[in-house]
């Protein structure tokens, strides 16, 4: 009885933490704009905030580096997730395709049977 209640409590806490972290991921990008919004609202001056972006205009260096770091991080995460999935998923669904330079077609009756065996992926 006590173990069931503990498991239910842990499940509820897990779901709560999951929803809170998902919400933080969704709305976390907005948080830095809140002080800027309040400042613009109070002063009625939009200096320092660009509402447009000209094609060909240079990014500021910190923004460029932040973008590069985020792209690299996402590529590393993608590589890790792909490696983990390859290692943990069943091998039955995997297919590989032969290299086109190593495939040859033999049109004789015996060769057709050999081709079927060689080209099964």
Q: Tell me the residue range of the domain where 55 lies.
A: 1-89
Model-level pTM?
Answer: 0.38
In a domain, 54, yes or no: yes
In a domain, 58, yes or no: yes
In a domain, 116, yes or no: no
For residue range 54-101, list pLDDT tens digits in order. Answer: 666 666 777 778 888 889 988 999 888 888 888 887 765 555 666 655
CB neighbours of residue 109 within 10 Å: 7
Helix locations, 1-121, DSSP H: 2-27, 33-43, 61-88, 109-119
In a domain, 77, yes or no: yes
3-state secondary structure of 51: coil
């Amino acid at each position: 009885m006590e173990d069931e209640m503990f498991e239910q409590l842990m499940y509820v806490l897990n779901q709560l933490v999951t929803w809170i972290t998902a919400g933080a991921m969704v709305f976390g990008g907005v948080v830095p704009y809140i002080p800027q919004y309040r400042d613009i609202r109070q002063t009625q001056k939009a200096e320092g905030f660009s509402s447009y972006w000209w094609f060909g205009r240079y990014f500021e260096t910190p923004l460029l580096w932040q973008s590069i770091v985020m792209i690299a991080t996402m590529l590393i995460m993608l590589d890790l997730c792909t490696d983990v999935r390859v290692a943990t998923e069943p091998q039955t669904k995997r297919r590989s395709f032969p290299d086109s330079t190593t495939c040859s077609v033999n049109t004789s009756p015996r060769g057709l049977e050999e081709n079927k065996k060689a080209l099964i992926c």
